[in-house]
Amino acid sequence: MSLRVGVVGGGQLARMMIAPAVEVGIELRVLAEQSGMSAALAATDVGDYTDADTVLAFAREVDVITFDHEHVPQAVLHALVDAGVAVHPGPHALLYAQDKLLMRAKLDELGMPQPRWAAVSDAGELQAFLDENGGRVVVKTPRGGYDGKGVRVVSAATEADDWFATLAEDAHGGSLLAEELVDFSRELAQQVARRPSGEVRTYPVVETVQRDGVCAEVLAPAPHADKRLTDAAAHVAITIAEGLSVTGMLAVELFETTDERILVNELAMRPHNSGHWTQDGAITSQFEQHLRAVLDLPLGDPSPRAPWSVMINILGGPAEGGLDERFAAAMVAHPAAKIHTYGKAPRPGRKVGHVNASGAELDDVVYEARGAASHFD
Amino acid sequence: MSLRVGVVGGGQLARMMIAPAVEVGIELRVLAEQSGMSAALAATDVGDYTDADTVLAFAREVDVITFDHEHVPQAVLHALVDAGVAVHPGPHALLYAQDKLLMRAKLDELGMPQPRWAAVSDAGELQAFLDENGGRVVVKTPRGGYDGKGVRVVSAATEADDWFATLAEDAHGGSLLAEELVDFSRELAQQVARRPSGEVRTYPVVETVQRDGVCAEVLAPAPHADKRLTDAAAHVAITIAEGLSVTGMLAVELFETTDERILVNELAMRPHNSGHWTQDGAITSQFEQHLRAVLDLPLGDPSPRAPWSVMINILGGPAEGGLDERFAAAMVAHPAAKIHTYGKAPRPGRKVGHVNASGAELDDVVYEARGAASHFD
C-alpha cells in the first residue's frame, strides 16, 4: 500500500514531483486545470481548483493534499480542513504566501529583516511613502503577482492609478503594498523543508539572477557566502517556517544589501525555481523533500552532491526548430549537462525547461550550463 | 511534440525509465502484462507480449519499441521490424540474449574470453564434458533462465536428467549448455550504451556480489580495478555491443578469475541490476542512457558523481510491518541513503527495491547503504 499525495495544479512543479514519487514509491495524483498540462502523466483528475466540491472529491482518494501553486482560495482550503483532509501547507500558512500585505505584517511581528513597507490605499498615501523613501519605490498588488507581474517601480503616485482604480472597483476594497527600493548587491534564496511534526532541514543559500523580473540563473551555493551570511539566511528561513507553521518546502527570496544585510523579498510555500538545481545537485531534491515533508516522513539529506551547481532556465523562444532538435544539439555538445523539459509548447519568455550542471569549479559549471542552455535561445 | 518510447513489459526496469523520461521530456508508454505492475503509472496498454497483433497495435503509437525484459518471441520481434517499427535492441541482437548457446558460439566467433563450454544433448555428452572439466560443471537451460533459475552445478550427468527429459519432449529438441566451473575471485559487470548510429559510452566496471544466485550488492567502481582490468572490461563490452549490433544498454556480466583473467558470464540487453547505482551515482543514469540510445539521441556523460557508489537490493521478506514503516525507519537513520521501491508486494526473496549511497570513502558508503537496507531485512 503506497502513500498517496494529491497535488492541486498540473504545472511543472507537480510534474517534477513525479520522478521522486516513482523512485521512492509514493503514489502521486494531480488535479490539473486542463488536460495536456506539464504533469499530465500523473493527472488523475481535471477540474477547477476554485470549486470546493471538485477539490474535496479529489482529496478523498489521497492521504494528503499539497499544491503546485498558491492560488487555491482560502474558502476551498478551509473546506478541506473542515472535512478532515490533511492539507500541507495549511490555509493559515498559505495565507501569507497569498497576500503580501499580511506577509509583511507577520514578518514584522516575527522580527524578520525586511524592506520598509506600507499598505497604501490611495495615491495620497503612496505619495507620502514616495516622499519618505527617496522618491522611487516598488508598488505591488498584494495578490496574484508572480514572475514580475503585479510589481512596478514608480516615481510618482499617478503611476499606480490603474491599480488603485481596480481596487476601488473591488467590493472588498483593500490596499496596495509599497516597499522601499532596496539597494541590493544581489538576490539570494534560502530553502527550508519542514514536517508537520516539526523537523526542519535547510538547503544551502543560493544566488538567484533575475532578468526582466524572471529568475534566469541560480548558483548553488551562493558564491562568497560567509558563515555570518549563511547562518543569517538559515535563521530567517527557519524562523519563518516555524512562525508561519509552513509544512513542505518554503523558499525565502532575499536581497543582500550593499551594506551587507539580508532582507526578505518574497515567500513561496512549495518547491521553487531557486531549488531546481537540487534535482541533480543535492542528495535529496526539493521535490522529493516536499513529498516527504507533506507526508510527515523523515526528511532527506539536503547536502550538495558537488561543490557547485548551476541552474539556467530555458525561456521558450520562437518555435522554429523543434525543442527536440535543439535538445539533441545541446546534448551532443554538453553530455554532462542535465536538461529538463516541462512538456509545454514553447512561447517567447515562457519557462519551458531548465538546465542543471554540477562540478568542482564554478567557472566550468557556469560554462557548461550556459553552453547547454544557449542551444535553446 | 515529444518523442515517444514504447516499452514492452511493465516491471521495475520499465518503472525506472519513468523518472528520466519525465525529466528529459520523453513520452513513455508501457505495454504491461497485467494491471497494477511496477510501471503502472506509464502503462498505457495491458496485453500479451507474445501476441504479434497486440504488440503491433501498441507500437503504432510510439517512435521506438524497447523492452523491460528479453522474452518477446523472435516471431513477434520480426513482425514489428517487417511492419517498419524501430525496435531497439533488434531481433538479431536480442537472439543472443535469449539463447545462451547462440551467445556462446557468437562470442567465440568474436574472440571474446569465456569459460570452456559445450552444447550437450544427452547425459553421455554431459558426462564427457564433466570428465574433461574436473568432474564438476555448470549446466544451464539455454532459454528462460534468470536470477539463478535454469542454472545448476552438477557432479554427475544424471543430475540434469529432468532437463534432458524436458528437451526430449520439446518438438524442437535442442541441447543444454555446459560450462566449466570457473575458479573466480569475484564477479564484475561492465555496462555500455550504444546508439543505432554507432556512438558508444561505457560506464565504470563494477563489482557485483551475488547471494543464492541473485545480485545482492554492487560496488561502483569495482575496488582495486587497475587500468589493465578496466580497459579489458570496456574492450569486451564494446566489442560485444558492436559485434552483436546491440542498441540501448548492454550489461556484460564477467568473472574475474584467480589468475586475473576476465571471462564473459552472461549478457543482458536492457538496463540491468548492476547499473541501478547510476540513478544516484552517475551523471547520466542507465535508464536515461537507455532511452537516449534507443531514440538515437546523443548519449549522456556516464561519469560517476562521487568516488564511490554502492547499491544494495531489497529482497522483500515477510510482510509484517509494512514497507512504509520500515521505509520511515530507514529514512530517519540514513537520511543520505536513496531508497528506491518498485511498487511490488513484498514476498520472500523478491526484489522489491534497492538502496543507493554515494560518497568519498568506500567504507562509509557501504556502511550507509547496508545500514539503510538492513531496515528491510
Cβ separation A2–B343 shorter than 8 A: yes
Cβ separation B19–A22 shorter than 8 A: yes
Cβ separation A22–B41 shorter than 8 A: yes
Quick one: DSSP state of residue A26? P
Distance from the A19 Cα atom to the nearest Cα atom in chain B, whole angstroms: 4
Topology adopted by domain B4-87: Rossmann fold (3.40.50)
- The predicted-structure confidence for B53-88, as pLDDT tens digits, reads as follows 999 999 999 999 999 999 999 999 999 999 999 999
Please name which of A338, A208, A19 lies closest in space to residue B22, comparing C-alpha atoms.
A19
Question: Who's near A114: CB < 8 A, 6+ residues apart?
Answer: A104, A107, A108, A263, A264
pLDDT score for B174: 85
Q: Which residues of chain B make contact with A23, given a CB cutoff of 8 A?
A: 16, 19, 279, 338, 340-341
pLDDT score for B150: 87
Residue A295 contacts B, CB cutoff 8 Å? no
Of chain A, the percentage scoring pLDDT greater than 70 comes to: 95
The strand pair at B4-8 and A350-359 is best described as unpaired
Q: Which of residues 228-287 of A touch B (CB under 8 A)?
A: 279-280, 283-284
Residue A261 clears pLDDT 80, i.e. is over it: yes
Long-range contacts of A206-213 (CB under 8 A, 24+ apart): A206/A274, A206/A275, A206/A277, A208/A253, A208/A273, A208/A274, A212/A148, A212/A349, A213/A147, A213/A148, A213/A149, A213/A151
Cβ separation B300–A41 shorter than 8 A: no
Residue A307, preceding bond cis, omega within 30 degrees?
no
Q: Which residue ranges does chain B devote to CATH 3.30.1490.20?
A: 116-180
Residue A197 clears pLDDT 80, i.e. is over it: yes
Question: Which of B23, B42, B301 is nearest residue A19 as measured by Cβ atoms?
Answer: B23
ipTM for the assembly: 0.92
pLDDT grade, residue B30 (50/70/90)? very high
Residue B153 contacts A, CB cutoff 8 Å? no
pLDDT score for A166: 84
Residue A212 clears pLDDT 90, i.e. is over it: no
What DSSP line would sit under A119-138, residue for residue? Answer: EE-SHHHHHHHHHHTTT-EE
Q: Please report the sign of the dihedral spanned by the C-alpha atoms of residue B105, residue B107, residue B111, residue B113.
A: negative
Residue A344 clears pLDDT 90, i.e. is over it: no
Residue B162 clears pLDDT 80, i.e. is over it: yes
Cβ separation A327–B300 shorter than 8 A: no
Cβ separation A42–B42 shorter than 8 A: no
pLDDT score for B326: 85
Where on the phi/psi map is residue B248: left (φ > 0), alpha (ψ -120 to 50), or beta? left
Where on the phi/psi map is residue A134: left (φ > 0), alpha (ψ -120 to 50), or beta? left
- The predicted-structure confidence for B93-122, as pLDDT tens digits, reads as follows 999 999 999 999 999 999 999 999 999 999
Residue A109 contacts B, CB cutoff 8 Å? no
- The predicted-structure confidence for A362-371, as pLDDT tens digits, reads as follows 999 999 999 9
Q: Which residue ranges does chain A devote to CATH 3.30.470.20?
A: 184-374
Averaged pLDDT of chain B: 94
Q: Suggest the residue from A283, A309, A334, A342 to mutate for an interface test with chain B (most B CBs closer than 10 A).
A: A283
Q: Which residues of chain B make contact with A364, given a CB cutoff of 8 A?
A: none
- The predicted-structure confidence for B213-271, as pLDDT tens digits, reads as follows 788 999 999 999 999 999 999 999 999 999 999 999 999 999 999 998 999 999 999 99
- Mean pLDDT for the stretch of residues A340-353: 88
Of chain A, the percentage scoring pLDDT greater than 90 comes to: 85
Cβ separation A301–B335 shorter than 8 A: yes
- Mean pLDDT for the stretch of residues A36-43: 92
A294 φ, ψ (degrees, to nearest 5) = -70, -25
Q: Which residue ranges does chain A devote to CATH 3.40.50.20?
A: 4-87
Helix (H) or strand (E) holding A338: strand A338-341
- CATH number (3.30.1490.20, 3.20.20.140, 3.10.129.10, 3.40.50.2000) of A116-180 reads 3.30.1490.20
Q: Please indicate whether residue A361 or residue B348 has the higher confidence score (pLDDT).
A: A361
Helix (H) or strand (E) holding A47: none
Instruction: Search chain A and give the residue with CA nearest B25.
Output: A341
- The predicted-structure confidence for A87-122, as pLDDT tens digits, reads as follows 999 999 999 999 999 999 999 999 999 999 999 999
Instruction: Search chain B and give the residue with CA nearest A299.
Output: B335
pLDDT grade, residue A264 (50/70/90)? very high
Distance from the B145 Cα atom to the nearest Cα atom in chain A, whole angstroms: 27
pLDDT score for B173: 65
- From residue A266, alpha-carbon distances to A80, A140, B76 in Å are 26, 11, 58
Residue A1 clears pLDDT 60, i.e. is over it: no
- Mean pLDDT for the stretch of residues A130-151: 86
pLDDT score for A145: 62
Between CA A190 and CA A8 the distance in angstroms is 24
- Which residue matches cell numbers 554431459? B126
pLDDT score for B147: 60
pLDDT score for A321: 56
Q: Which three cell numbers stand for residue B365?
A: 558508503
Question: Which of A301, A328, A342 is nearest residue B336 as measured by Cβ atoms?
Answer: A301
The strand pair at A4-8 and A27-32 is best described as parallel
Between CA A248 and CA A296 the distance in angstroms is 9
Q: Which three cell numbers stand for residue A23?
A: 523512485
pLDDT grade, residue B167 (50/70/90)? confident
Q: Which three cell numbers stand for residue B295?
A: 531514440
- The predicted-structure confidence for A272-327, as pLDDT tens digits, reads as follows 999 999 999 999 999 999 999 999 999 999 999 999 999 999 987 655 556 678 88
- Mean pLDDT for the stretch of residues B343-359: 90
Instruction: Search chain A and give the residue with CA nearest B16.
Output: A23
Topology adopted by domain B184-374: D-amino Acid Aminotransferase; Chain A, domain 1 (3.30.470)
Residue A299 contacts B, CB cutoff 8 Å? yes
Please name which of A355, A282, A328, A249 lies closest in space to residue A7, comparing C-alpha atoms.
A249
